[in-house]
């Protein structure tokens, strides 16, 4: 009897093993199978792919001409001759223009203007600036939303399928004075003076390119441009005749809009807990963070004060708008993360070793030149885009563009509510994998009502061809987006989502 039972058990065990082997075999993919799955995933984005559009490929632009001889003599860029770019990008215009019409004006800003591609609008104009303060907007051209894509780790430049030139014309400006190729001695003390100088530049720009007058105008930028843009918008709304284009709205992504204690310190420990497997910090250090957060009044701040609707103005957790002594948890986390992962990137926390090379020399938390010269330090590149040959270009300036500091209040505490109300549409975007400016420190620092009145719904941001890719919420003329998987530079890390958001800002799609 026992022998017969044993034989039955052996037979059943053998059958289960064979079934498991068969199931495992069904789950095993060849390399060809894996590649086919990947290609199928890419095809799902087919309707969004722009560079291979039937209405025109790379270098194809809508007909746009400028009658001022200076446009063709001083500023025209032949897109077929850009060094290391092996296709014709099409015509563009670049160079230096002063910030005023004074005969002795030495302060000049560098710009690069691109006309719309075949699917873009001739009725609109986007302005883009990077932040810093003092970081070059040519990063936007080459790695975010321009027609050329040469991102970290790319062997060569490729056409950007999600270039915002597929929406409209776009102008990138290296500002304020002291940034990139721009010329002159920085002398601004606050954001109002920055806005005044940029508007002065635009007055000279439209003098050379008057055919662009009357276009629907949109301001956009990221990081410290979250401070620039609201003040620039405020200046233009206060002085509507200062430039010959109507300002319709603005985009700020991963923006600096409030105090550091709000955007970095308070949400830092909760952020690490959310991505604990990514940071991989030991339990002893995590205990230290929890104890410090509790002592510094960070631990239960969100639960206590961030309610829907808000109960009132939010208090500082301590006595400083930066951090009290012993309460700089953000820096402690950064230092610990670098011990575990020397390639830890505050701009996108998922990055690991090795550090990808960057044609602009800034592939993450630290500047790093792996190939020299940097692209915009090549003499042939400078000559092609009419940049000054004697400038040692760096992505983020070594010059203090605010010589005595920026005395302006953060925009969430000053001009932001007003410019949201005066815009037709206003957009704030945040990558959820950004550690340098944390999303949870941004969403509730807005407007006199101190944030949204109702909660943000999970999985509410639906990206065409991809499905839910984060969250979106609209209230009181502001639409706020959180983009999953994206770090600090949303157009670089999640170009499909960024393109769709910009379509919404410009009114090309009714719903976010």
Q: Per residue of the chain (512 residues), give pLDDT as tens.
A: 545 554 544 454 444 444 444 444 455 667 676 677 777 776 666 544 443 343 456 777 777 899 999 999 999 999 999 999 999 999 999 999 999 999 999 999 999 999 999 989 999 999 999 999 999 999 999 999 999 999 999 999 999 999 999 999 999 999 999 999 999 999 999 999 999 999 999 999 999 999 999 999 999 999 999 999 999 999 999 999 999 999 999 999 999 999 999 999 999 999 999 999 999 999 999 999 999 999 999 999 988 888 888 777 788 999 999 999 999 999 999 999 999 999 999 999 999 999 999 999 999 998 888 899 999 999 999 999 999 999 999 999 999 999 999 999 999 999 999 999 999 999 999 999 999 999 998 865 554 556 788 888 999 999 998 999 999 999 989 999 999 999 999 999 999 999 999 999 999 999 88
Burial of 75 (0-12, 13-18, 19+ CB in 10 A): buried
For 305, the token pair is 């004060």
Domain ranges of the chain: 69-257+407-505, 260-372
Of the candidates 242, 231, 240, 234, the one whose C-alpha atom is nearest the C-alpha of residue 201 is 242
Beta-strand ranges (E) seen in 42-167 are: 76-77, 92-98, 108-114, 121-129, 148-149, 158-159
Q: Would you say 267 and 302 are in contact if contact means Cβ atoms under 8 Å apart?
A: yes
What's 69-257+407-505's CATH class? alpha beta
Q: Would you say 297 and 318 are in contact if contact means Cβ atoms under 8 Å apart?
A: yes
Q: Specify the pLDDT at position 11.
A: 52
The residue behind tokens 């951090």 is 323
Catalytic residues: 223, 434, 488
The residue behind tokens 């060809």 is 32
Q: Specify the pLDDT at position 53.
A: 41
Q: Are strands 158-159 and 108-114 parallel, antiparallel or unpaired?
A: unpaired
Give CA–CA dist 65/490, Å, rounded.
32
Q: Specify the pLDDT at position 15.
A: 46
Q: Which residues are 92's β-sheet partners?
A: 77
Q: Specify the pLDDT at position 2.
A: 45
Q: Specify the pLDDT at position 49.
A: 45
Q: Specify the pLDDT at position 39.
A: 76
DSSP code for 381: H
For 346, the token pair is 């505050």
Half-sphere exposure of 352 (CA within 13 A, CB side): 6
DSSP 250-308: EEEES---S-HIIIIIHHHHHHHHHTHHHH---HHHHHHHHHHHHHTT-TTHHHHH--S
What SS3 class is residue 361? coil
SS3 for 306-346 is CCCCCCCCCCCCCCCCCCCCCCCHHHHHHHHHHHHCCCCCC
Q: Specify the pLDDT at position 57.
A: 64
- Which residues, 6 or more positions from 304, have their beta carbon under 8 angstroms from its beta carbon? none
CB burial string 212-222: b at 16+ within 10 A, e below: beebbbbbbbb
For 219, the token pair is 């301001």
């Amino acid at each position: 009897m026992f022998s017969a039972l044993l034989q039955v058990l052996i037979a059943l065990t053998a059958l289960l093993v064979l079934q498991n082997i068969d199931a495992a075999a069904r789950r095993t993919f060849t390399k060809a199978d894996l590649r086919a799955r990947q290609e199928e995933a890419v095809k799902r984005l087919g309707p969004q792919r722009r560079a291979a559009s039937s209405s025109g490929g790379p270098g194809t632009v809508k007909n746009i001409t400028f009658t001022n001889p200076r446009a063709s003599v001083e500023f025209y860029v032949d897109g077929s001759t850009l060094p290391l770019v092996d296709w014709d990008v099409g015509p563009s215009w670049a160079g230096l223009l002063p910030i005023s019409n004074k005969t002795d004006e030495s302060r000049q800003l560098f710009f690069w203007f691109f006309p719309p591609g075949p699917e873009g609008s001739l009725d609109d104009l986007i302005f883009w600036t990077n932040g810093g303060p003092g970081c070059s907007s040519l990063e936007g051209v080459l790695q975010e939303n321009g027609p050329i894509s040469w991102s970290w780790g790319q062997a060569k430049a490729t056409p950007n399928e999600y270039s915002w030139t597929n929406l409209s014309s776009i102008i990138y400006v290296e500002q304020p004075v002291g940034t990139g190729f721009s010329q002159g001695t920085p002398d601004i003390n606050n954001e109002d003076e920055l806005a005044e100088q940029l508007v002065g530049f635009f007055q000279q720009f439209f003098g050379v390119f008057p055919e662009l007058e009357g276009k629907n105008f949109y301001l956009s930028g990221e990081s410290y441009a979250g401070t620039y843009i609201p003040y620039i918008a405020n200046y233009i709304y206060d002085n509507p005749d200062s430039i010959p284009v109507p300002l319709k709205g603005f985009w700020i992504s991963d923006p600096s809009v409030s105090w550091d204690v709000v955007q970095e310190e308070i949400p830092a420990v909760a952020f690490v807990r959310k991505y604990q497997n990514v940071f991989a910090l030991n339990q002893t250090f995590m205990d230290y963070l929890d104890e410090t957060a509790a002592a510094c009044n960070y631990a239960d701040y969100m639960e206590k004060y961030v309610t829907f609707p808000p109960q009132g103005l939010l208090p500082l957790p301590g006595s400083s708008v930066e951090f009290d002594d012993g309460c700089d948890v953000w820096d402690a986390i950064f230092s610990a993360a670098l011990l575990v992962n020397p390639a830890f990137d505050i701009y996108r926390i998922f990055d690991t070793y090795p550090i990808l090379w960057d044609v602009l020399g800034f592939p993450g938390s630290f500047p790093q030149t792996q190939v020299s010269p940097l692209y915009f330090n090549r003499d042939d590149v400078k000559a092609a885009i009419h940049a000054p040959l004697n400038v040692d270009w760096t992505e983020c300036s070594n010059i203090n563009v605010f010589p005595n500091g920026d005395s302006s209040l953060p925009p969430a505490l000053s001009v932001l509510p007003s410019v949201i109300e005066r815009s037709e549409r206003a957009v704030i975007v945040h990558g959820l994998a950004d550690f340098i400016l944390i999303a949870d420190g941004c969403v509730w620092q807005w407007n006199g009502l101190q944030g949204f009145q109702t909660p943000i719904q999970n999985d509410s941001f639906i990206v065409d061809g991809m499905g839910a890719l984060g969250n979106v919420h609209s209230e009181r003329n502001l639409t706020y987006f959180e983009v999953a998987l994206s770090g600090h530079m949303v157009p670089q890390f999640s170009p499909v989502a960024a393109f769709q958001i910009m379509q919404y800002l410009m009114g090309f799609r009714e719903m976010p």
